[in-house]
Structure 1
């Protein structure tokens, strides 16, 4: 599971959500694809952003997953509840994630009820696993989403 964050380029509005559809998709050039639900507020912010940040969570970060997956930014300032800093293009980078990357949005691809954002990674956390287990879908299967998927 990933947390994707965005900041709208013009007004700085921030959004972030929990996603399960994301993957590296090219070695050379390096590319990463992340899919956002069109029902999600983060999708609307991402459409006005130049960059997205993609965060890998540890299995002990269910509270962070619940914040970004079970609450909507329509009524909750998620960023007031976590430590973060602006990354490239203003994309919010969460301080306590296992690993992260910030990518410049190259393209948007329609995919039904989700839209894919093709990213050119421009900034990332230090390489190398820290040994902590990753947060997986089964770890958050009981989480009620903040918006319908």
Structure 2
């Protein structure tokens, strides 16, 4: 049965993000639809990860997370990070990436990215929120790129249930 909020959330079409983490020599990353800036002064960003997701376990042990936005023409990267699971696939073998200053995996082809220190976590139903303070970021984006949004990936079969 649909919730009362479904008619509201069905019209939303915000950006999707690829969130990556590294802890104890293990890397992971996933496609995320629940994330937002949540403070200007000081700058803060909240990312919500499903407790069923492989990346959740790595993120719980990490000190930082990397958050990436993709261009609309990067649906293959979204399909990799959203349609495969780190339980079975090393997604980083299939993309170009590098380590940030703190060791977080940063995707080379992302339109823009930032790395954030995890300040705290907040339980939010079936997802856990990671409150991030930005510590490193990509160079400024030129122009007005068409970003990958929820509608672009809504038919993607997830690697894990949400």
1:128 alignment partner in structure 2:
141
Which digits, 9 at most, give the CA deviation of each residue in 1:111-135, with x for residues without a partner? 0100000001000011234432000
Deviating 4+ runs (over 4 angstroms): none
Structure 2 unmatched ranges of 5 or more = 1-15
Moved more, 108-117 or 81-90: 81-90
**Aligned match of 1:69 in 82, 94, 106?**
82
Q: How many residues align?
A: 147
SS at match of 2:139: coil
Q: TM-score normalized by structure 2?
A: 0.89
Map residues 1-149 of structure 1 onto 2, 5 A cutoff: 1-8=16-23, 11-149=24-162
Determine which structure has more spread, i.e. the larger CA radius of gyration: 2
Q: Is the 8 A contact 2:44 2:133 kept in 1?
A: yes
Structure 1 unmatched ranges of 5 or more = none
Q: TM-score normalized by structure 1?
A: 0.96
Distance in 2 (alpha carbons) for counterparts of 1:43 and 1:107? 14
RMSD: 0.8
